[in-house]
Chains A and B, each alone.
Chain A
Amino acid sequence: GENVEQHPSTLSVQEGDSAVIKCTYSDSASNYFPWYKQELGKGPQLIIDIRSNVGEKKDQRIAVTLNKTAKHFSLHITETQPEDSAVYFCAAHFNKFYFGSGTKLNVKP
């Protein structure tokens, strides 16, 4: 089956800086790559996603890039704000969803 690895496990940045979280996947047949944000005590919520026929997607301060050859995809958050502090999960879909282990992002004011 698919294996998704996510790095780093924790990330601390100063407000206004950029944050980058990286994921790799093992199965080249995976075709859909969502990113989720999970706040304390809540279920994960989708923040951005990308499909295998697209290399980059942007939504305001958030962007995702996909490199199919290297089988990795990354989440970029620019101009970070304290409310961006949460746990972020990447996932890959091949028949079902496979999740990374999560990155705890702390944005210091």
Chain B
Amino acid sequence: NAGVTQTPKFQVLKTGQSMTLQCAQDMNHNSMYWYRQDPGMGLRLIYYSASEGTTDKGEVPNGYNVSRLNKREFSLRLESAAPSQTSVYFCASSDWVNEQFFGPGTRLTVL
């Protein structure tokens, strides 16, 4: 089992460019999440998907969109990147209200 995988691991964008962060899990989990982590601020929820076919906003959704492509995959899209979106992005999955498993993260820099 690979657990939760994320691509890419690193990315540098220019302001205004777009990109999609990919996430996949092989644990047959129902719920998937996207977080961003900034120094001193812990993990902040961007969007989550409680089950296949549903998505909901988290604490900081502005500037992002998500797609729950199927039960395994949950992507995060930045339509027009801004320097304020420079962060480390983590995808996670869980089986309802149970342990979350996190991916290795994507380190994004927006110039």
A residues lining the B interface (CB < 8 Å): 1, 6, 9, 31-32, 34, 36, 41-46, 49, 89, 93, 96-102
Q: Is the CB of B42 within 8 A of A32?
A: no
What DSSP secondary structure best describes chain B's contact surface? strand
Give the complex CA separation of A31 and B44 in angstroms.
Answer: 19
**How many B residues touch A, CB cutoff 8 Å?**
24
Q: In the complex, which residues of chain A have a beta carbon less than 8 angstroms from the beta carbon of B43?
A: 44, 89, 99
B45 interface neighbour in A46, A97, A101, Cβ under 8 Å = A97
Q: Is the CB of B48 within 8 A of A34?
A: no
Q: In the complex, which residues of chain B have a beta carbon less than 8 angstroms from the beta carbon of A1?
A: 59
B74 sits at the interface (CB 8 A): no
Q: Is the CB of A93 within 8 A of B97?
A: yes
What DSSP secondary structure best describes chain A's contact surface? strand
Q: Is the CB of A46 within 8 A of B104?
A: no
Q: Is the CB of B40 within 8 A of A101?
A: yes
Q: In the complex, which residues of chain B have a beta carbon less than 8 angstroms from the beta carbon of A89?
A: 42-43
A34 interface neighbour in B44, B58, B90, B100, Cβ under 8 Å = B100
Q: How far in angstroms is the closest Cβ of chain A from B38?
A: 10
A97 interface neighbour in B4, B33, B56, B105, Cβ under 8 Å = B33
Known: A89-B42, A89-B43. A97 touches B100 (CB 8 A): yes
Q: Is the CB of A45 within 8 A of B102?
A: yes
Q: How far in angstroms is the closest Cβ of chain B from A51?
A: 9
Q: Is the CB of A32 within 8 A of B97?
A: yes
Give the complex CA separation of A70 and B4 in angstroms.
Answer: 35
Q: How far in angstroms is the closest Cβ of chain A from B49?
A: 11
Give the complex CA separation of A94 and B59 in angstroms.
Answer: 13
Q: Is the CB of A43 within 8 A of B103?
A: yes
B42 interface neighbour in A34, A46, A102, Cβ under 8 Å = A102
Q: Is the CB of B45 within 8 A of A49?
A: no
